[in-house]
Structure 1
C-alpha cells in the first residue's frame, strides 16, 4: 500500500476526492455489502441509518455505480477486490476501527469461484426494497 490516510483530515480529503468523481453523488442513509453464494447471502458490516461511515460508502459507490438512487448493485470478484483495494489506505488511521474494510476483506477471502457481491444503497429510509435481496438487507436495518 503506497498511499496511507492517517489523519481525520486525510480521510475526509479522500472521501471528498472520491465523491467529486461521481457527479450528483448523494450520501446514502444506509448501505452494505453481501457475498452471494447460490441463493445464500453473507453480509459484511451493515451501515444503518444514523451510523453511516461516509468514506467506505463513496469508495463502494465509485466502483459499483451508485449516485443517488436506492438500488442493489452487482459486482464480480475483480470489482469488489478493487473496492477493498481503494479503501485499504484508510487502515493507516489506527485511531479508529474499520469495520467495513475488515468485513469486506473477509467476504472476499471466503469467496468461491461462483461468488458474486451485492452492494446495497438506501437513498431514503422510506424507499421500498428493490428486490428480495434488498428486502433481506432492510431486515438487518430494523431496530
Structure 2
C-alpha cells in the first residue's frame, strides 16, 4: 500500500503517464477487463454471459486502470489473458487505490476489482483473469476469455 494520493483529474493523468512510460513499448489496449472465472460458472466460460465473468468491461478508455493492470501482469501490448493469484490482484487494487482521493470521478474499475476479490473468497477453484485486447478484430488464436470480451465489446 502506498501513501500516495491522486486528488485531481490532472493527478490521475500524471499517474497514468508515469506508469505507461515505465513499461518499455507499452501500447494502450483497445479493450480490457478483469474478472472471475471457474467454479459455479457456466460449463465453458466462452458460453457464459460476459457480465457473469467480467463485472466491468472497458473499451476505448479508462487507461489508468489498464496500465495498473498491465503493470501487475507484465503486459506490454497486444492481446493476452493472464491468471492472477490473490497477491497480484491485491497489488492491482493497491496500485489503483490512490485514485480514490479524486472525488471528482467515480472509480468503477476499483469497485469491480474489489468485488472480484470478495467473490474469490466464496468460490474455491475460481481464477482471476485479466484480459487485454490489442485490437477489436477477432483472431483465430483467441482464447475463450478473449472471445468473450470481444463479443461483449461488439454488443
| TM-score, normalised with respect to structure 2 | 0.84
Aligned partners of 2:117 and 2:11: how far apart in 1? 26
Distance 2:31 2:40 in 1: 23
Residue 84 in structure 1 maps to residue 93 in structure 2: yes
1:28-52: CA deviation from partner (whole Å, max 9, x where unpaired): 111111112337353121002x3x2
* SS of equivalent to 2:117: helix
Match of 1:123 in 2: 134
Deviates more, 1:84-93 or 1:13-22: 13-22
Structure 2 unmatched ranges of 5 or more:
42-51
What SS does the corresponding residue of 2:57 show, helix, strand or coil?
Answer: coil
Which has the higher Rg, Structure 1 or Structure 2?
A: 2
| CA positional deviation for 1:134 | 1.5
- Give ranges in structure 1 of 5+ residues lacking alignment: none
| Root-mean-square deviation (Å) | 1.6
Q: Which moved more, 1:31-40 or 1:63-72?
A: 31-40
Instruction: State yes or no: 1:59 paired with 2:37.
Output: no
Summarize the alignment of residues 102-121 of structure 1 with structure 2, pairs less than 5 Å apart.
Answer: 102-112=111-121, 113-121=124-132
